[in-house]
Chains A and B, each alone.
Chain A
Amino acid sequence: MLAGEGPFFVTYTHQMEEPGNLEIALKNTTGKPVDGNRFLGVTTEFEYGVRAWWTTELYVEGQSTNHDSTLFTGYRWENRFRVLEHEHWINPVLYLEFENINGADRSLLEVVGHDSQDDLTGLNATTRREKEREIEAKLILSSYVRGWTIAENFIAEKNVRHEPFEFGYAVGVSRPLALAARPADCAFCPENFQAGLELYGGLGTHRNLGLAGTSHYVAPTLAWALPNGPTLMVSPGFGLTGQSAGFLLRFGVSYEIAQFGRMWRKRS
Chain B
Amino acid sequence: MRLMKIACCLLALTASGKTLLQQPPAQEMSRLNPYAALLQQAQAGHKLFLRECASCHGRRAEGTGRVPALASPTVKQAPAGAIFWVLRNGSLRHGMPSFAHLPEQQRWQIVTYLKALK
Task: Give chain A's interface residues, CB within 8 Å of chain B.
Answer: 1-2, 6, 13, 15-16, 18-21, 49, 51-53, 82, 85-87, 144, 146-147, 149, 176, 179-185, 191, 227-228, 258-259, 262
Contact = CB atoms under 8 A, between A and B. Distances in A.
B17 interface: no
B92 A51 contact: yes
A110 B43 CA distance: 41
A181 B65 contact: no
B118 interface: no
Contacts of B103: 147, 176, 179-180
B44 A181 contact: yes
A51 B55 CA distance: 15
Nearest to B54: A258
Given A6-B101, A15-B101, A16-B97, A85 B48 contact: no
B56 A18 contact: yes
Contact of B97 (A6, A49, A144): A49
Contacts of B40: 183
Most B CB contacts (10 A, CB to CB) among A191, A259, A262 go to: A191
A254 to B, nearest CB: 14
Interface string B52-90: 100110000000110000000000000000000000111
Nearest to B43: A183
B19 interface: no
Interface string B84-111: 0000111111111110110111100100
B5 interface: no
B97 A19 contact: yes
A86 B89 contact: yes
Contact of A259 (B55, B88, B91, B109): B55
A200 B106 CA distance: 30
